[in-house]
Structure 1
């Protein structure tokens, strides 16, 4: 599944790109994160920082949860974001998802999506800021770095992310697994499966995808999800005629992790203090 280190690496790649410096490699980030989470001074330093800012009586942000469990998400209350204006291509913009539990050996390559969300300073809610991924398996070092930049800079729905926006961002990595052809358009489960559809209508080919938690977070039925996904692909037919379209549906699952900038910065400051980068 996706890990905290994967999210740190996306932040590190984007920050380095915007700061015109060389980023740490994924291997270096993973090694450093492993050391960081075992360093009791890291959390002590965070508490000291909170005390200096006069917020020692407030709950320390989500670092403790991150340190205690690599299976927990670190985002605030997420607002739904369906990314519904982009059609499916080899590099398909999509949306953020919640985690699915997984066990087993570390993944070294996978189809993947990198999502950037803006976090509201007032409410903690998130809104989509950029998301692009691929259904072709990628070596994670190269794939995550490439799509971290691509989704931040080249998502045509948004202006490129700037350096001053970094503190307001959340990074989410989704690794895609378990691709299966559906027997029919309804052969999938809300909250478990993402969908990739393709179809032809009036001589035009269409395609689009939603990651696994879109339908659940939007409160959609299966029919509503499929119609929305067809709209995302660019289909403009009548809503009540969607079943007349011959849909090819592939279902898949997603292993996701999210992390917000303050958590990245605390780790990065620790790295600098150690003289590692």
Structure 2
């Protein structure tokens, strides 16, 4: 992609995230119970997930009709004449949304071939846009995220996702939690992996780890681009280089990444 094409694409992704975020903002503030369907254990979908994904696809398709899509709600739509795939989680944190917890996001990434190139994570209640382009840095709105120094383990605040209700490997998650708890300053599981990963790039978390909870590519793809461009080292816990196959994740500053890995993998 040329620099001009890349700029146009990231602008379109942000427009799409805002269109979806407007729907979620309105839905969050509606009076009454939000109707939902259960797709599986601790896996819910609302009208707002579906409407937000439709808004994202329509916004992007108008500007880039040839790209393919991989959406949490609509599945895969092959590209007609492009090596670009847009990866969408229209509402990351549906459980929070259902319970009126003000922590959820819109997550949109682009993959060129097998390489993640663009990432946008948008928090509609805060109107906060976090985004990155591969090789061009990570941004909070119009401000470039600084590459912050690593804290020692004893001062680190670590984000994570835990498995619940038979959705994942609870025993592995508990073992790793027990190994990490005595070594860090705090562990948080707010409930929107896309936001927590992007927040690690921004410095609100010092690291993010998950193994046991099921994280699909649309949960993590945009955040991975942001975290990498903000200077973090991003891997799974088994050295698999392909994010599409990952069932674990570790994100931290390079100085602390391997120390955390040695604690978690024993």
Shared fold per TM-score greater than 0.5: no
